[in-house]
Amino acid sequence: MKTLIAANWKMHGNLSWLQKPADFRRLFPAKNTNIDILLCPPAHMLQAMVRACDGQDIAIGAQNCHDQIKGAFTGELSADMIAETGAKYVIIGHSERRAIFGDNDAWVAAKTSAAQKACLKPIVCVGESREEREAGKAEEVVGTQLAGSIPANADGENLVIAYEPVWAIGTGLTPTIEDIATIHDHIRGCLTIRFGNKIASKIQILYGGSVKPENAIEILALKDVAGALIGGAGLEMQSLAAIASEV
């Protein structure tokens, strides 16, 4: 299975950041390896970023999409509109979307289906809050989110899952290596029960939450961790390249 190193830029950056793919490649020149690099910039630069990545072997993704194809949804982008920019991925159900914008499991599932229909690869995020972890409910919460957020048509390659404990995002805190392994194993188990081993074994499961060059080697070495979804450390190409070097 290939490793996906994905940077979520959130609401950061401006058009001067179109330089970043070339900067990344100066720091990490190895192309067409077993590592896929993905940058998810704010929507206003998707198309220009796709152009800036021409020949760089770097994919571009959006950070959200709407579940409808078109309509009176002021401020929203459909999956087809995103696909039209040349982007290949879309993050869906990030914990910030779930907490601030009301994305619930049913909506995440609808957005995931819409992305798949538009030939985008959705990266579906799940993860427990601090209270849920402290109450010993991390596995239960993640299992429920998976059941509600993943549509029935998974074929192994038409989605990626990102396990992102909410309390680890942007805090510098991470679960122990054992805890990451346990949840990833649990996710694989839930997928196997639902879709069977042939499909479940092909689904990439990323870890996200305060990944940085210093902890990447240990996290990415785990059997069921097929990459990372990276916030803060993905804004600087130096740290993103350092993380990719640990794969």
Could you list the residues that contact ligand PEP (CB under 6 A)? 8, 94, 164, 169-170, 208-211, 229-233
What's the closest the beta carbon of residue 83 comes to ligand PEP, in angstroms? 22
Q: Which is nearer to ligand PEP, 41 or 209 (CB)?
A: 209
What's the closest the beta carbon of residue 4 comes to ligand PEP, in angstroms? 13
Q: Which is nearer to ligand PEP, 166 or 200 (CB)?
A: 166
94 classed as catalytic:
yes
What's the closest the beta carbon of residue 6 comes to ligand PEP, in angstroms? 9
Encoded tokens for 98: 């779930």
172 contacts: CB under 8 Å, gap ≥ 6: 210
What's the closest the beta carbon of residue 173 comes to ligand PEP, in angstroms? 9
Q: Which is nearer to ligand PEP, 195 or 227 (CB)?
A: 227
Of the residues 132, 139, 164, 246, only one is catalytic, namely: 164
What's the closest the beta carbon of residue 169 comes to ligand PEP, in angstroms? 4
Residue 108 and residue 148 in contact, taking contact as beta carbons nearer than 8 Å:
yes
164 classed as catalytic:
yes
Which candidate, 143, 96, 94, 142, places its Cα nearest to that of 122?
A: 94
Of the residues 94, 184, 186, 246, only one is catalytic, namely: 94
Q: 74 phi and psi, to 5 degrees?
A: -55, 130
* Dihedral-angle region of residue 147 (phi above 0 means left; psi in -120 to 50 means alpha; beta otherwise): alpha
Total number of residues shown for the chain: 247
Q: Which is nearer to ligand PEP, 71 or 102 (CB)?
A: 102
Q: Which is nearer to ligand PEP, 229 or 244 (CB)?
A: 229
Q: What is d(CA 4, CA 150) in angstroms, rounded to the nearest whole number?
A: 19
What's the closest the beta carbon of residue 51 comes to ligand PEP, in angstroms? 25
Q: Which is nearer to ligand PEP, 17 or 195 (CB)?
A: 17
Q: Which residue is nearest to ligand PEP (CB)?
A: 231
* Dihedral-angle region of residue 210 (phi above 0 means left; psi in -120 to 50 means alpha; beta otherwise): left
Q: What is d(CA 135, CA 107) in angstroms, rounded to the nearest whole number?
A: 26
SS3 track for 140-181: HHHHHHHHHHCCCCCCCCCCEEEECCHHHCCCCCCCCHHHHH
Q: What is d(CA 3, CA 36) in angstroms, rounded to the nearest whole number?
A: 6
Q: What is d(CA 46, CA 185) in angstroms, rounded to the nearest whole number?
A: 34
Q: Which residues are catalytic?
A: 94, 164
